[in-house]
Amino acid sequence: MIMLDMFLMFTSSLILII
């Protein structure tokens, strides 16, 4: 669960950067 949340935050950060 926590790993999934971290993954979502990581992907959202990449999308924001792009």
HEC string of the chain equals CHHHHHHHHHHHHHHHHC
What is the tens place of the pLDDT at every residue in 1-18?
688 899 999 999 999 998
Question: C-alpha angle with apex 13: 9 to 4, nearest 5 degrees?
Answer: 20
pLDDT score of 2? 80
Tell if the pTM clears 0.95, that is, is over it: no
Cα–Cα distance list, 11 to 3, 15, 16 (Å): 12, 6, 9
